[in-house]
Amino acid sequence: MIVINVKENESIERALKRFKKKFEKTGVLKELRSRTHFVKPSVKNRETRIKAAYRQKMFAEENY
């Protein structure tokens, strides 16, 4: 459960922004969306390999 303590003289908008950031970090929505449909393990593995290759490519370009 996410608990946000509203500090003295803190606006509601600021507290709501902190809540949204904490909620995003937990990854609840991301997991919920991923559970809406079944993805075969082979497809998952392929996607992770493609993402890893992309990250490596970007990292290599950055270091040149």
Asked, for residue 7, whether it belongs to a domain, the answer is no
Average pLDDT value over all residues in the chain: 93
Between 59 and 62, whose confidence is greater? Answer: 59
Could you report the per-residue pLDDT of 4-26, keeping only the tens digit for each? Answer: 999 899 999 999 999 999 999 99
Task: Evaluate whether residue 56 is within a structural domain.
Answer: yes
Reported confidence tier of residue 38, pLDDT bands at 50, 70, 90? very high
pLDDT at residue number 45? 97
Distance separating alpha carbons of residues 40 and 50, to the nearest angstrom? 16
Query: Is residue 36, in this structure, part of any structural domain at all?
Result: yes
* 4 in any annotated domain: no
Domain annotation covers residue 6: no
Which tokens go with 30? Answer: 């991301």
Domain that holds residue 46: 12-63
How much is the CA Rg of the chain, to the nearest whole Å? Answer: 19
* Structural domain count, the chain: 1
Contact 3, 18 (CB under 8 A): no
